Amino acid sequence: MDEEALNLSVRKFLKTLGVTAQREIERAVREAVAGDHLKGRASFPAKATITVKEIDLAFEMEGEIKIA
Q: Decide if pLDDT at 7 tops 90.
A: yes
CB 12 within 8 Å of CB 18: no
Return the pLDDT at 3: 97
Q: Decide if pLDDT at 39 tops 90.
A: no
Confidence category of residue 40, pLDDT binned at 50, 70, 90: confident
Q: Decide if pLDDT at 26 tops 90.
A: yes
pTM of the full structure: 0.86
